[in-house]
Structure 1
C-alpha cells in the first residue's frame, strides 16, 4: 500500500504587478497562530512526516513548512523536506507524471503544493475526492500496489480530508455560526433562538469531533448537546408546573439528546485525565508513566473510533434532524407560549429546595454517587436560572463556582476508576513489589484530595440563602 498526502500551502498574500506569484508570502492568517500551525499536529498524527516530504519551492510553500516545523517537537520535520521545481506547477497532468516517476521504496510521500493541481490529482485517483481544497487543507489517499508507476485512475482505496478549521477549534470559531440577536426577544423567542443556535453549533462541530485533533471540539460539542437538553428539560418542567401544560414529543427528543451526550463521556474523561497528567505528572517511575500514557491513549483512540462510528450512522442524522424539526414545529412554539417568569421562578425555587435538602443530608461516609447527584442538581438549577439571566446574574456567578467544585470531585472519582482499570489491565505492574510504594503514595494523595473536596462541598451554604427567593 502507498500513502500519499497532499497539502495545500497556508493562506498567502495576494500577488500583484510588483510581486511575482512565486514570491508571495504567507498572510497573517496563514502564519502563527494560523493555518500552518493548526495543521502541524494533524500531519504528525496522520504519519505524514514519516516518509518523504517534497515541496514546491515557492515562498508560500516554504513558509508553510517553516511554520509547521516551528510548531512541532524539535526534529519532527527538521530539514527532511526537499524542494522540486516540478511541483511549482498548475498543470494537473504534469503533477501526475511527476508522481509516477518516484522511485521504488518511497511508500509514504507528503507533497506540499498548489491548487488546482493537488485537487485535480486527488480527483484522478479517487472518485470521492472533495469539490474543493482550501488553503492549509490536507488530503490523505491510500493507494494499492508497490510502485508509483502503476497508479491508475480512481484506484484509491481510502481518502481522508482535513481542513485547518477542523483541526483547530480556535480557527473554527472564526467561522462558527453566529448567535442570534435576542436582547429584545421575549422569553419564548429567546429560548427558541438559543436552542436553534445550539443545534447549528452542534452540527458545525461534528467534523472537528470526528477529526479528533483538537479536544476542544469534543468539549464544546458535549457542552452544547447537554445545554440543549438542559434548556429543554427546564421548558418541560416549567410547562408541567402549569398543571395542564404539555409539550408533546419533547421528552422523547430529550432522551435522544441524552444518549448522544452520554456517548462522549468516556472520551471526554480520558482527555481531561491525560491533560492533568501532563500538567502534574504522577509520582510514578518513568516506565510506569509511559505505560499509563500509552494505555490511556489507546483507550481514547478506541472511544474516538466508537464515537465516529456513531456520528456516521443514519440514526444519528435522523435524531438530529428530528430535533431540529421539533424545534421548528407548532407544538413546541405553543409550549413556549405558556412559559412565564413566574412559572420559571416557581420551578427554580422547588429545585433549590431539593438541592438544599440533599446537601444537608450529606455525611462524611456518604457514597460518591450522592455528591454526583448534587452536581447534576446544580447543573439543572443553573440552566433553569439562565432562562432569565439578567434577573439571576449574581446567583449564577455563585452557582458556577459551586458547579466547578462539584465537577472537580467528579473528575477525581473518574481518574481513580481509570487508575484501577489501568493496573488491573497490567498484572505485571500490579504485582511488582518495587512499585507498590509509589502506587500507594499516589492513591493516598488522591484520597486526601478527595476528602478535602468532600469537606468543602459539605461546608457549602444552602442555595436558598443566595437564590431568587432570598432577594
Structure 2
C-alpha cells in the first residue's frame, strides 16, 4: 500500500451483498442478506483481501444488510486487526453520491479508505471521481480507485484512475455461470449445420465475457472455459475447411491457434499449483516442498504468467483478432460455407475423426513416445467438439467420449506436472529433496499410460446415409 508521501490515495467502494425483499413488513434499513448475498461474501472476501481492500480504514453504512456484509467478511478472513479498523456510520446509509462526496472530503485517513454502502450512491461517487466512468456496480462488487492527492479534501472530479473492478461473477465461475444464456444453436430447430450459424457467434460472444475474469485469475475455471471455447470454435472451422476447402477459413483458424498458444503456459501453471496445494497436505511431501522453495517459486511463476495473459488480451493485436473473428462468425461468407454442406457432413467428419482416433489408439504400445498419447488426446477433443454439434447422437456415446477425455487429460496433466517438477529440481533442488515426489509422479504417469493402452476403440454411432463422395478429414 502506498502512503501519503507518494501523493496517492486508495479508495475501495464495496456494495453490500444481495439483500432480501421477502418480508414486506421490514423497513429498508432492516432488510437482511439473502442466500445469494451470503454466497457473495464467501466469494468476495478473499479476493478483496488480496487486492488490499482491508489494509486501511473501513467505513460502512449501519443498515443491516451492510453490517451483515462487513461482519460476514470479517468472519471469513483471518485478519485479527480488521475489527478495530471498522466504523459503522448512519450518515453512510444514503443513496446520494453527493452525500458521500462531502463525507469523503472530510476524512483525515493517511492512505486507504474502504467504504461499504449502497447504490446508486457508490456508483455516482465512483463515476464522479473516475476519468472513464463504469457502467455498473453489482451487489457484492468493488471498485478500487487511485487518486493522485495528498489529502482527501483535495479530491476533484474525473481525476481518479480505475485500478480494479471486481464483481462476484468475475471472481467465481459458479456465480458467472448462473446468469449465462444457453447456446441458441442447441435450442433451435433445424439441421446441425444450420444451427452452427447460431452456435458459433454465441461462443464468440461468450469468449468475450470470459476475458475480464480470466485476466483477473481469481478462479482458474474461467481460463479453462476460455480455452475450451477457442478449441471448440477452431475444431469446427478446421472441419469446415477440410470439407469445403474454402480459403476464407484459414485466417480465423490461424487467429484461434495464436490465442490458444497464448494461454498454454498459464493453464499448465494453474493445474500444477492446484496439484501443489494437494501435495502440501500430504505429510510425506510437505516438508520437502517448503524446504525446497517450490511452493513460493511456482506461485510466483503463476502470478507472472497471469500478468502476461492480462497484458496479452489488452494488446491491439488481440483486439484485432477478436474483432476479425467476431466479424467472420457473423458473416454471410460463413453462412454460405455452412449452407454449401449437406446435413450429413458433420457425421461424415465425425466418422473420419473416429477412424483416425482408432488407428492411433491401436498403434500405441509401451514403446510409443508421450507425443503419440498427446496426439490421441487432441484427436479425441476434436471428436467430442464435433459430437456436441449433433444432438441426435446417443447419450451413451457422449458419456464414453467424456470418460475417455478424462483419462487422457489426466495423463496430460501428469506429464506437465512431472516436467515442471524435474525442471525445478535441476534448477533449484540440488539436494534432491523433491526426488520422492518426482518418482511418485513418474509412477502415476506410467499408470496413466497403461490405462490408455487398455482402452478399446471407439464404436462409431449408427452410420448415416451419405450423399456423394466422402472426403478425408485432415487432423
Q: So what's the TM-score if we normalise by structure 1?
A: 0.88
Residues 418-442 of structure 1, C-alpha deviations (whole Å, 9 max, x = no match): 223433443xxx233xxx2x42211
Q: Do 2:279 and 2:285's aligned partners in 1 also have CA atoms closer than 8 Å? A: no
Which of these residues, 219, 224, 227, is aligned with residue 222 of structure 1?
Answer: 227
Quote how far apart the aligned CAs of 1:185 are: 1.4
Cross-structure match for 1:326: 328
User: SS state of the match for residue 297, structure 1?
Assistant: helix
Which of these residues, 163, 166, 169, is aligned with residue 162 of structure 1?
Answer: 166
Cross-structure match for 1:367: 369
Q: Do 2:421 and 2:438's aligned partners in 1 also have CA atoms closer than 8 Å? A: no
Distance in 2 (CA, whole Å) between partners of 1:413 and 1:255 is: 27
Quote how far apart the aligned CAs of 1:349 are: 3.3
Distance in 1 (CA, whole Å) between partners of 2:74 and 2:194 is: 49
Q: Structure 1 residues 346 and 19 mapped into 2: Cα distance closer, same or farther (>3 Å)?
A: closer
Q: Structure 1 residues 333 and 93 mapped into 2: Cα distance closer, same or farther (>3 Å)?
A: closer
Range moving further from structure 2, 358-367 or 368-377: 358-367
Range moving further from structure 2, 364-373 or 348-357: 348-357
Quote how far apart the aligned CAs of 1:183 are: 5.1
Quote how far apart the aligned CAs of 1:213 are: 1.8
Cross-structure match for 1:311: 313
Quote how far apart the aligned CAs of 1:261 are: 1.9
Distance in 1 (CA, whole Å) between partners of 2:443 and 2:377 is: 20
User: SS state of the match for residue 393, structure 2?
Assistant: coil
Q: Specify every segment of 5 or more residues in structure 2 that has no aligned partner in the other structure, as ranges.
A: 1-7, 465-475
Q: Do 2:30 and 2:64's aligned partners in 1 also have CA atoms closer than 8 Å? A: yes
Distance in 2 (CA, whole Å) between partners of 1:227 and 1:381 is: 10
Distance in 1 (CA, whole Å) between partners of 2:296 and 2:398 is: 40
Cross-structure match for 1:128: 132
| 1:182 partnered with 2:177 | no
User: SS state of the match for residue 249, structure 1?
Assistant: helix
| 1:289 partnered with 2:296 | no
Q: Structure 1 residues 20 and 448 mapped into 2: Cα distance closer, same or farther (>3 Å)?
A: same
User: SS state of the match for residue 135, structure 1?
Assistant: coil
- What is the alpha-carbon root mean square deviation over aligned residues? 2.6
Cross-structure match for 1:25: 32
Which of these residues, 114, 121, 126, is aligned with residue 118 of structure 2?
Answer: 114
Cross-structure match for 1:8: 15
| 1:199 partnered with 2:204 | yes
Q: Structure 1 residues 196 and 76 mapped into 2: Cα distance closer, same or farther (>3 Å)?
A: farther
Residues 5-30 of structure 1, C-alpha deviations (whole Å, 9 max, x = no match): 11111222349984333222223332
Cross-structure match for 2:3: none
Which of structure 1's runs of 4+ aligned residues deviate more than 6 A? Answer: none
Quote how far apart the aligned CAs of 1:169 are: 1.7
Distance in 2 (CA, whole Å) between partners of 1:99 and 1:286 is: 48
Q: Structure 1 residues 80 and 234 mapped into 2: Cα distance closer, same or farther (>3 Å)?
A: same
Distance in 2 (CA, whole Å) between partners of 1:191 and 1:73 is: 49
Q: Do 1:125 and 1:154's aligned partners in 2 also have CA atoms closer than 8 Å? A: yes
Range moving further from structure 2, 345-354 or 313-322: 345-354
Cross-structure match for 1:440: 435
Q: Do 1:4 and 1:140's aligned partners in 2 also have CA atoms closer than 8 Å? A: yes
User: SS state of the match for residue 178, structure 1?
Assistant: coil
| 1:255 partnered with 2:262 | no
Q: Structure 1 residues 333 and 30 mapped into 2: Cα distance closer, same or farther (>3 Å)?
A: same
Distance in 2 (CA, whole Å) between partners of 1:6 and 1:345 is: 53
Which of these residues, 135, 141, 153, is aligned with residue 157 of structure 2?
Answer: 153
Q: Do 1:246 and 1:335's aligned partners in 2 also have CA atoms closer than 8 Å? A: no
Distance in 1 (CA, whole Å) between partners of 2:339 and 2:426 is: 54
| 1:300 partnered with 2:293 | no
Q: Specify every segment of 5 or more residues in structure 1 that has no aligned partner in the other structure, as ranges.
A: 240-244
Cross-structure match for 1:242: none
Residues 164-223 of structure 1, C-alpha deviations (whole Å, 9 max, x = no match): 222222222222133215352112222222212211211122222123222221111111
Q: Do 1:247 and 1:332's aligned partners in 2 also have CA atoms closer than 8 Å? A: no
Cross-structure match for 1:43: 48
Quote how far apart the aligned CAs of 1:453 are: 1.0
Q: Structure 1 residues 92 and 182 mapped into 2: Cα distance closer, same or farther (>3 Å)?
A: closer
Q: Structure 1 residues 470 and 68 mapped into 2: Cα distance closer, same or farther (>3 Å)?
A: same
Q: How many equivalent pairs are there?
A: 453
